[in-house]
Every structure is written in structure tokens, then in C-alpha cells.
Chains A and B, each alone.
Chain A
Amino acid sequence: MNAQATALQDPRLNRPEPFTPPLGDGGFFQRDRSIHPPAYAPGYKSSVLRSPRQSLLSLENSVSEITGPVFGHNDLGPLDNDLIRNYAKDGDPVGERIIVHGRVLDETGRGVPNTLVEFWQANAGGRYRHKKDTYLAPIDPNFGGCGRALTDDTGYYYFRTVKPGPYPWRNFVNSWRPAHIHFSVFGSGFAQRLITQMYFEGDPLIPVCPILTTIPDKDALDRLVAPLDLNASTPFDSLAYRFDIVLRGQRSTYFENRPEGN
């Protein structure tokens, strides 16, 4: 038997799958945990009893991680991205009217299209519409404080709201949260799932917040701060803030590489 015949009998050389492009297996870039807050961050006291102590077990992405729920416009209502109107009862909510807009990208710089972005926040006085929030600032009868949007084909999203207020919370006796909006983003696979918070340029509470300062990387922290975007503001109506969100990079998926499509 010659050498070539031997090679053809080697099962490793007879895989049914062709060699795919180096960024073509549909997996996600390994998460860089050095830019995320560690699970155990004692300055944020609630994390002490809620942080795993064992190492995370690293998994190569399988179909369970590169897939994730798909949402469509049927899941949303027409006012879902308008927090000024989606809970209004007898007028507009109190507060500074703002637009928040930006793109959901992945680490390759590509927009993440048709992905669900959800957001929630306190009202202008720093009070949440939540039965467990007992802060003395009043509930605003015209403000719910939540909304959601699907990104467009380029990953762009936008919504309208009022600027949330800062509020005190039990960590140290005089801990205050900077004004912030919570964001929940899906991406195209469940391993991209992310919850984060957006802060506002110039807020003096940012450098002293025990939650924000769990982030060990100064640049990563700065990327959570939305700049004022005067160009996107609506004259005589609303200021705008720009907030881009970056999800883990994805090596393009199987279906993008196969001419037969979905």
C-alpha cells in the first residue's frame, strides 16, 4: 500500500465538512473577563454572598450557545420605545426630555440587526415604579419607566424618555447611584446575552459609585458613559445621548456561509 492510499484511509482526512473560513464556525470570541466586574467585589456588598467561588468551566461554543431566541415586531407594541407616552395617564411625565440612541455592534464592528433591547429606569426624582422601592421621592403617575426596541438592519435603536434621577441605596450609609438606565440585550446567540447600565456624561456620582467601580478597567467604565449628542437633539423638544453597545464578536454563522441559506 503506498503512502497516499494510507492517508485516504485516515478518517481525519475524510470529514464530510469542508474546511471553513477561519472566522466561519459561528462561535463567539472568548469573553475578556478583565473588562467585566468580578463576581466577588466586596465594595458592592450584595456581591459577597452571591458570587460563585469556584472557577467557571470554559465551554467551547456548541449549538446551545451560538443559538438564542429570535424576536420580531410582533413581540412589541407601537409605544414600546416611547417612555414619555407608554404609561401617560393625564399628561407627560415630569423631567428632562431626552432621546437615547445608538447601535448594537459586535466586537468585529458589525451591527447586530433585529435584536431585542430592553431598558428600564427610575423617574426624574430617582424613584422606581416597583413595589419593593420605598425611596421617599414620589412616583410619577405618568411614568412607567420601561421600554424596548428591536434594532434595525444596521443595529441601530432609539427611544425617548425623561432623564432618571440619582437615588440613595443601602450599601454604605451614604451611597448614591448616579443617574442611569438599565439595558438588557440579546444578540444572536445566548452566549452574547448581556445586562448593563448606561450613565450620563458629567455626572459627579460616577467616580464614587460602588457598583460602577466594580469595573476594574478605566476604559471599560468610560464606555458605559453616554455623551451628550447635540446633533441628534430635537430643537425645542429633547436633548439626545448616544450609547453604543458592543456584544461579543461572532465568527459568522454557518447559515451565512452556505449558499442554500436558512
Chain B
Amino acid sequence: MPQPLNYLKETASQTAGPYVHIGLIPAMAGFDIFEKNFSNVLVTPNTKGERITLEGKVLDGSGTPLRDVLLEIWQANAAGRYNHPADRSAGALDQDFRGWGRAGSDFESGLVTFETIKPGAITDKAGRKCAPHINVWIVARGINIGLNTRLYFSDEEAANAADPVLNLIEQPVRRATLIAKRGERAGKVVYSFTINLQGPDETVFFDV
């Protein structure tokens, strides 16, 4: 027998369930308990960068919006730098931007929204430029292990075409499932997205 490699095993995932709001967004469950709450607003008045609204739905295999889904996003700041010590890149940190937020879908429409900034381009370990993107994590009743995907921006065509992750997707038609569409409403920039859990337009999900 060789020496044992005494690694532990990861704890198994379990669904977040229909009442995920109690723990993560108690106001949506219908009560007020914590002094400080996390939210879908990532910006303060001092945050640097272009203000954007991200808005979309998650659809099940019948095309019906999930009305009990929870999304978290994690993104770099306007200079392309993540607010975390493992990001050693040159972009300046923004003390007014943590880069993380969470949102529950509306109980009627299934709409999910975030108020954030458009992230800058990121440089990967090999020195390649990566198109600006937002990392997304999805949990809900019926989702046994959180789903990871990304959102890219429709107005970054050249950067998207050169992005090493988008180019890993074999079928070009599937790359489009990750592109949020830029629009405007009442003078505000709105990027809209649809995440399809199944079907011919199934979103690309990652094993990160």
C-alpha cells in the first residue's frame, strides 16, 4: 500500500429550497431581523464606473420563469480589479465597491435586478485580456448544486470575440447565451439577460 493522501472530501451540496430568502434576504421572506443586510445594489454614490442595471429572468424547461430563484454576482471593478487579495493585477482598487451582491426574483414576475457598474476588462494568468464579464451563481428549489455562469456585454463585440472563455464554447451559437443585451430606459443603461436552464437555448453553465 502506498502512503495515504489524507485529503478531506467536500461537503455535499443540497438545494437552497423555496425559503432561501429567510436566511439570505429576510426582507423578502417578510420580516426584518438584521441591522445590516446584503442586497442587489452593489454601488454607493462614490463607486467609480458606468452605472448599469442588470435585469433578467431564469426560465425552467417549460419556459416558465423561476419565481423563487436567488442569484449572486461577483465582478471586477471599473478598472478590471477584483476586491480580493488574490487579484494581483495592476488596476486600482475601489474602496467603494465590494463587487458582490445577491438578489431574489420577484415572486410574481420572476424578474431579477442588480444595480451595479460595468466591470473593466481582466487580464488572465497567461496575460491574455478577458472581455468584461460578471460571474453569476444560481440557487433555488430544485437546483441541487449551485449553477455557475457568466454574463458578457453586447456592446463589447471585439473583446467578446477574443475572449478565451467564450472561445472555449465549441458551438458559436451557444456563446450568445451569455451575452446581456444593452439598452436604455429613462436615461439609464439596462442590460437584459435570460438564463435558460434547459431547451434549445440552454445557457452555458460552467464547472469552475
Tell me, yes or no, whether B98 is within 8 Å of chain A by CB: yes
Which residues of chain B from 171 to 199 have a CB within 8 Å of any chain A CB? Answer: 197-198
Q: Mark B141-160, 1 if CB is under 8 A from A, else 0.
A: 11111111010000000000
- Chain B residues closer than 8 Å to A53, beta-carbon distance: 198, 202
Interface residues of A in 25-75 (CB under 8 A from B): 25-26, 28-29, 31-33, 35-39, 41, 44, 46-54, 56-59, 61-70, 74-75
11 A-B pairs with CB atoms under 8 Å apart are A32-B10, A33-B207, A36-B10, A47-B144, A51-B142, A68-B84, A120-B23, A128-B22, A130-B21, A196-B13, A246-B11
Instruction: Kindly provide the distance from the CB of B203 to the nearest chain A CB, expressed in whole angstroms.
Output: 8
Cα distance A262–B83 in the bound complex, in angstroms: 12
In the bound complex, residues from chain B placing their C-beta under 8 Å from that of A39 are: 143-145, 147
Partner-A contacts on B (CB < 8 A): 6-24, 26, 29-31, 33-36, 38, 60-62, 64, 66, 68, 72, 74, 76, 82-89, 98-100, 107, 122, 124-125, 130, 133, 135, 137, 139-148, 150, 165, 168-169, 197-198, 202-208
- Cβ contacts A63-94/B at 8 Å (1 or 0 each): 11111111000111100100000110000000
A213 to B207, CA, bound (A): 23
Distance A146 CA – B24 CA, assembled complex (angstroms): 8
Distance between Cα atoms of A200 and B8 in the complex (Å): 21
Cross-chain contact A132 with B18 (CB below 8 angstroms): yes
A146 to B22, CA, bound (A): 6
Q: How far is the CA of A204 from the CA of B18 in the complex (A)?
A: 23
Within the complex, which residue of B68, B142, B143 is in contact with A132, where a contact is CB–CB below 8 Å? B68
Q: Does A220 contact B (CB under 8 A)?
A: yes
- Contact between A37 and B12, CB atoms less than 8 A apart: yes
Stretch at the interface among A2-10, A149-157, A231-239, A247-255: A247-255
Cβ of A165 under 8 Å from chain B: no
Is A190 located at the chain interface by the 8 A CB criterion? yes
Q: Kindly list chain A residues whose C-beta atoms are within 8 Å of the C-beta of B23.
A: 118-120, 146, 148, 182, 184
In the bound complex, do residue A108 and residue B31 qualify as a contact, i.e. CB atoms below 8 Å apart?
A: no
Nearest first, the 10 A-B pairs at minimum CB distance are A120-B23, A46-B142, A69-B100, A67-B84, A50-B142, A37-B144, A56-B207, A131-B30, A77-B35, A49-B61
Residues of A within 8 A of B62 (CB): 49
Contact across chains for A70 and B14 when beta carbons are under 8 A apart? no
Complex CA gap A182/B18 in Å reads 11
| Chain A residues near B147 (CB-CB < 8 A) | 39, 52
Cβ of A49 and Cβ of B12 under 8 Å apart?
no
Q: Which of A170-211 contact B (CB under 8 A)?
A: 182, 184, 188-191, 193-197, 211
Known A61-B208, A184-B24, A255-B85; judge A51-B198 contact (CB<8 A): yes
A35 touches B35 (CB 8 A): no
B contact residues around A182 at 8 Å (CB): 14, 16-17, 20, 23
Please determine whether B125 and A48 come into contact, CB atoms closer than 8 angstroms.
Answer: no
